[in-house]
Structures are given as structure tokens and as C-alpha cells.
Structure 1
Amino acid sequence: MSISNISQVLLRNIEVLSATTPLFINLMEDGFITRYLHDYPNANITCYNTNFIDYLAINNKYENQIKTLFSSEYKNEIKHDLVVINFPKSKDELAFTLAMIAPYLLNNAKIILVGEKKGGVQSAPKLTQHFLTSCQKIDAARHCLLFGGIHETKEGESDAFIIEDWYKNYEVNISGITLIIAALPGVFSQKKLDVGTALLLDNLPKYMQGKVLDFGCGAGVISCLIGKKFTNTDLSLLDVSALAIASAKRTLMLNGLTGNVFASDSLSNVNESYQHIVSNPPFHQGTQTSYQATEDFLRGIKKHLTATKQQKSDITIVANSFLQYLPIMQQHIGKTNTIARKQGFNIYYHKKG
């Protein structure tokens, strides 16, 4: 992998990143960590990622050299004198992240925020004014900005972080069924039902029974409607985001449902076959546009679709109409129909058996 613009900016300022117990949040494995270890071999590094793909890449390469964590909530036994944060797409997620790490910071810890200009990082000083003293721009290069500030520990700030306080709940009513959706900051459709998912829910198969896989489950709204509407289903939900996984688990619980919710890099952890597969597949990883995980899913999902003489199986996908998913489905899954169109979204449907 070529080194990202964000990592290049960090490396331009490697002397600013001197630390004893640094914490790197949502950085990629692209060479930056190797260089950091070279320059600061005695540093006790922790890498915390909410993206499963990035976590796996870092863990697989540096398993015996640094501590790696993948979870919806940061916890550690040590406190940090430096934190480097890859600026998130969601401003609410930044506030969530800062509150979450506060109990694990040494007094006067240095906080570095880095991100692409188009991702909103220029707002870092304003967004962190309650948390940092003198957040200043350090560098601008490669279409990225680097900001830094100092965090002074305030009285009571070391109190435990309560993740439950950060869920946003809202109700949706679909076909007479009311659902409570819970989502953490940064999770897709955190505050309301999006157009694509709503269209998918209006075009689910008329009858569903057996195992269901919800690929890219987000906060879990698709699976919850299926579980409420079709009680003879066994729900499995996967996502690449630890924040989405935690949200989906909470959404299931709030609606009196159960399901197997797990992390996966596309189909890496999918080991079963299903009667029904549904998805509003993601095409963003953080602030980056990425179609690879969904395209890998569409190319490989057929072997996980099971049909019997008694029951046919199907795949239902919603996607932005500009995404070229239909040809991939036609080639790798079989005959696929476009069964609905609305506001720039298409529903693609394949039936097996």
C-alpha cells in the first residue's frame, strides 16, 4: 500500500510526535507506524481502530510490537502523553472520541488532529476549544491539515466514560411496525432513516423464513424490521465498524430481538449459508470513498446463498443508481432484476431456486 497523504503529513512532522505512551486513533497501516517505531523505538504505542479492516492490518503486522484495540469504547491500563487522531467524517464522532479518551490522558497531553481539507479538519480549533488549550495549525501539505493542542486535565474529568449517554434513539414506523433505533456518533443514518434504507424496507421479499444476513448493518434497522415482521427468521448482522456493531446490538435489544452481530472485512468472517441476504452496502471507509468491500461481497456471496426444494432464497440490495453493482451481480450471482427506483436509488433483486 502506498503511504497516505495523512501519513505523509505526520511524517513531515515526526519530531513533534515524540512521546512515551502515544495513542494512535484510526490510522491506517501504510508505513507510518514502521517509521515511528524506527524513530522512537522505546515508545509504548497503542493503536485504537473502530474500522475492522485497519485494525486487522495493524494487528497482523505489529502484533508483538504494539497494543492494538478494536472496540466501540476505548479502554486501557495506561495513560497517554500523546494522541494522534485521524479526523473523523462526523463532528459528533470527534466529540465522542475526545470524551472517551479523556480519562486516559496524562496532564498536559499533546493532542494532534490530522485530516484531509475536504473532510472538515479545518474546523478542529473550534470543535476542540472546550477540550484543548491553544489548538494551532502545525502544517498544511498534501491537501491535508495538521493541528495540535494541549489537554489540561480538569477536576472530575477522570470519571468513567459512560457510552450509553452517547446513543441517539429515534423511532421509525414502517408498515405499521414501530422500531426504536439506537446509534452512536459516526454510524450511518444516526439520526433518521435514510432514503435508500427506507426504499429497501418497502421492497423486502413478501415472505422470509430461515437465516438472514444483513451486510453492512449499520444501526440494525433492516434486521429489526425483518425480525419483527417475520418471526421465523434467524438474524445475522455484520459491519466493518465497531460503532455500528455496538449500535446494532443495542437496537436489537431495544426491540426485543436477538441476532448474531459481528465484524467482518467484506465476507472474511462469513462462514454460514443463508436463505435471505439483504444489504444497503457502504461505499465509504471513514472520509474515503471505497467500493472494494461491497464489490468483493457481490462477487463472493453466491456460495453463501442456500436454496432447497421447499424454499427459494434471495438477495435484495439497495444502491445509489450511479454505482455499477448490477453488472457485477449479473456476472457473479446470476439473473438480477431492478425492482424499484426512487430518488437516485435502485433495488436489485436475485432469486435462487
Structure 2
Amino acid sequence: MSISLSNVSQLLLRNDTLLSAKTPLFINLMADGFIEHYLSDNSNAKISCYNTNYIDHQALKKQYNNRITSSFTSEYHTELTHDLVVINFPKSKGELAFTLAMIAPFLDIDAKIFLVGEKKGGVQSSPKLTQAFLNNCQKVDAARHCLLFVGIVKAESLNKAFILNDWFEKYQLSVGGITLTIASLPGVFSQKKLDVGTALLLENLPRVMKGKVLDFGCGAGVISCFIGKKFADTELCLLDVSALAIASAKKTLALNHIPGHVFASNSLSEVSEKYQHVVSNPPFHQGTKTSYLASEEFLRGIKPHLQHNGNITIVANSFLQYLPIMQQHIGNSRSLLSKQGFSIYYADRK
């Protein structure tokens, strides 16, 4: 078995006979070779892959092109009816309920639903979390520190219409005399309240902001909406790797009547413009795992996207070594303050 396969994919391939299907749907699986194995064993299958992570979606699309149908969106749609679904267990339990409700209109009456994930990610709670949606959800295998569960979708689950708008969690926040309404889908960072790091960043933005602003890893759009309300002469651009974050940011902008361009990007892969201001509470989680790669790539690559005299302000956990990266790759960088376990870093391009 290829060592490039993730633990999750290795567990799935141990159970390949259980996964045989005509119209399978794979949700948030990595582009690590599992699909290649599945195609070789199920050459007539019409494979659909749905990913909320732009990196995995792009990789699957590049590798398998016309051999599968790959979609990246906040709301899944298809003309097919799926007889089997494999879900990579999400880090948020709310996102699991969201995903199950979303795919329900596209399932066969006896569709098998497999849930797979690392033990430490919470997958062992699958039977309890899915009891309203699945019949007889039970563990079928355990290996590589991962678990695999399977259940049959309940007939009554198939008849419920899915309305994306019903799944937004909304709350109000007030910072520095500015009141905003935030909308966030399950699994999006800081879904129910303003996090400490972002609050600190909002208090330490440049005193004057105008021109193009890039919000890197925008999440639900809190930072951009605050800037848009406080500084009328800004043009907001927001990026994130998550389809659910992108939908949330668009909703938040609309609720606050603030214009902005929101787009998907793998770090800076889709960034082509120059900005007067860059702001970020950089993400450091990839699924359930901690990963600093995208944020470090962002800091190493942002300088060409800063206008002359442009600046960047970020907040990060104080233990992260971002300042040396900024000093090396951007130049004039310094720490503005450290508080409550977070640091604010600032750099400008002269």
C-alpha cells in the first residue's frame, strides 16, 4: 500500500469491498491516492467528490480531471442519486449535522453512509450524533488510529428540504463603537462569538485605512466588515480556503450592507493584485490538525502584493515565530504588543 495514503484512506482501502457502489459520493477526502485505488476497483462507478477545502478540491480536479465530478461550494447539488457516501468526520459536530442534511435530497432510499476519521477527532461519537439521520450506525473497523462507522439513511431523513439560510448562526458584536451582525455556517472559525485574537487585532489596526484591503483567511468576515464600517474609503477583498467561510463572509457583508469581493485561494495562489493594507488572523488548522504552512507561505509571499508604503497587520498566538519570517521576507517588521497570549505584528513596505 502506498505510504502517501493518509491513515483515513488506508482504513477505507482495508474495507474496499464494503465501499463498492454505482454512484458514490466522497466528502472532504484528501487527494492522496485513495480515488486512484477506488477507480481501479470500480471502473464503472460514477464518482462524485465534494470538498469544502479549496486545496483538496483543486488537487482532486487536477489529478482526475474528467474521471470524477469534483465540486467546491457551500451547498452540494447534483443530478445523481447516491447509493453510498463516505464522510471524512469534520472537526465540528455542527458541520456533520449540516453535511447530512445537505446531502439528504440526493440519496437513495437505502444509501449507506460511512463516517471515517481519526479517533482523537471525535469520530467515535458518530452513532450518537447521527441517530436522527441513520439507522443502525455501528463501527465496522478500527486501524491506523482511525475508526470507520456505517449506517443506513432513514427514509424520513430524505424528505426534508435543505435551506442553506437556516444554518447560519447569527450574532451581534460591538467594538470601538461599531456594531456588526455576523453570520457563520457550522465549522467556520469563531462561529458564535468574537475571538480574543480578532478583538485584539481590531483594536490595533492602522489609524487611517484607505485603498485596497486584503483580508487573508477571512473566516466569517468580521475583520473586513469592521474595516468597511470604520473606513469608508476602503475596497475590501477577502479570501479563505473554506467554501463555508466564503459563504459566511458573503452573508456577513450583505447583512451589514458592505461591498466586498470574496474568493477562494490556497494561501496566495489566486492573489494577483497589490494592496495598500493586508490584515489577517492567520489560520493554523487544517481539518483537525495544526498546520502553519499556509500562514507561513502567506508571510513569505505577501511582499510583492503590497503597494509602495503598503502595510500588513496580523494577530497570532505569541508562541508562533511569525516575526522573524516577516523581518526576513517583508522587511520593516515589529511587534506592536503582546496580550492574553496573542501578539500583534506590523510591517510596511517602503
Place the TM-score, normalised by the shorter chain, in its bin. Answer: over 0.9
1:91 aligns with 2:88: no
Aligned letter for 1:62?
Answer: Y
Number of the residue aligned with 2:269: 268
Number of the residue aligned with 1:137: 139
Query: Hey, what's the Cα distance between the residues in 2 that align with 1:160 and 1:306?
Result: 47
1:128 aligns with 2:130: yes
User: What do the CA deviations read for 1:49-101 (whole angstroms, capped 9, x no partner)?
Assistant: 00000000000111110100000000100110000000000000000000000
Query: Hey, what's the Cα distance between the residues in 1 that align with 2:343 and 2:72?
Result: 33
Query: Hey, what's the Cα distance between the residues in 2 that align with 1:151 and 1:216?
Result: 35
1:198 aligns with 2:199: yes
User: What do the CA deviations read for 1:178-207 (whole angstroms, capped 9, x no partner)?
Assistant: 000000000000000001101100100000
Query: Hey, what's the Cα distance between the residues in 1 that align with 2:28 and 2:258?
Result: 31
Number of the residue aligned with 2:342: 345
Number of the residue aligned with 2:210: 209
Which segment is superposed worse, 323-332 or 232-241?
A: 323-332
Number of the residue aligned with 1:149: 151
Aligned letter for 1:146?
Answer: L
Number of the residue aligned with 2:73: 71
Q: Residue 318 of structure 2 contacts residue 343 of structure 2 at CA under 8 Å; is this kept in 1?
A: yes
Query: Hey, what's the Cα distance between the residues in 1 that align with 2:6 and 2:339?
Result: 36
User: What do the CA deviations read for 1:35-61 (whole angstroms, capped 9, x no partner)?
Assistant: 000111111100000000000000011
Number of the residue aligned with 1:57: 59
Query: Hey, what's the Cα distance between the residues in 1 that align with 2:114 and 2:227?
Result: 43
Q: Residue 330 of structure 2 contacts residue 349 of structure 2 at CA under 8 Å; is this kept in 1?
A: no
SS in 1 for 2:252: helix
Q: Residue 8 of structure 2 contacts residue 146 of structure 2 at CA under 8 Å; is this kept in 1?
A: yes
Number of the residue aligned with 1:334: 331
Number of the residue aligned with 1:325: 322
Number of the residue aligned with 1:287: 288
Query: Hey, what's the Cα distance between the residues in 2 that align with 1:45 and 1:68?
Result: 9
1:168 aligns with 2:169: yes
User: What do the CA deviations read for 1:159-180 (whole angstroms, capped 9, x no partner)?
Assistant: 4310000000001101100000
SS in 2 for 1:323: coil
1:304 aligns with 2:305: yes
Q: Residue 330 of structure 2 contacts residue 348 of structure 2 at CA under 8 Å; is this kept in 1?
A: no
Query: Hey, what's the Cα distance between the residues in 2 that align with 1:11 and 1:104?
Result: 25
- Count of equivalent residues: 348
Q: Residue 106 of structure 1 contacts residue 153 of structure 1 at CA under 8 Å; is this kept in 2?
A: no
Q: Residue 132 of structure 1 contacts residue 151 of structure 1 at CA under 8 Å; is this kept in 2?
A: yes
The two structures have a TM-score, normalised by structure 1, of 0.97
Query: Hey, what's the Cα distance between the residues in 2 that align with 1:305 and 1:351?
Result: 8
Number of the residue aligned with 2:84: 82
User: What do the CA deviations read for 1:98-156 (whole angstroms, capped 9, x no partner)?
Assistant: 0000011000100000000110001000000111111010111111110001113227x
Number of the residue aligned with 1:250: 251
Query: Hey, what's the Cα distance between the residues in 2 that align with 1:20 and 1:313?
Result: 54
What is the aligned counterpart of 2:49 among 47, 50, 54? 47
What is the aligned counterpart of 2:12 among 1, 10, 20? 10
RMSD: 1.0
Aligned letter for 2:164?
Answer: I
User: What do the CA deviations read for 1:184-241 (whole angstroms, capped 9, x no partner)?
Assistant: 0000000000011011001000000000000000000000000000000000000000
Shift of 1:323: 1.2
Which segment is superposed worse, 287-296 or 42-51?
A: 287-296
Number of the residue aligned with 1:239: 240
Query: Hey, what's the Cα distance between the residues in 1 that align with 2:55 and 2:287?
Result: 11
Aligned letter for 1:334?
Answer: G
User: What do the CA deviations read for 1:274-324 (whole angstroms, capped 9, x no partner)?
Assistant: 0000000101111122111111111100000002xxxx3210010111111
SS in 2 for 1:14: coil
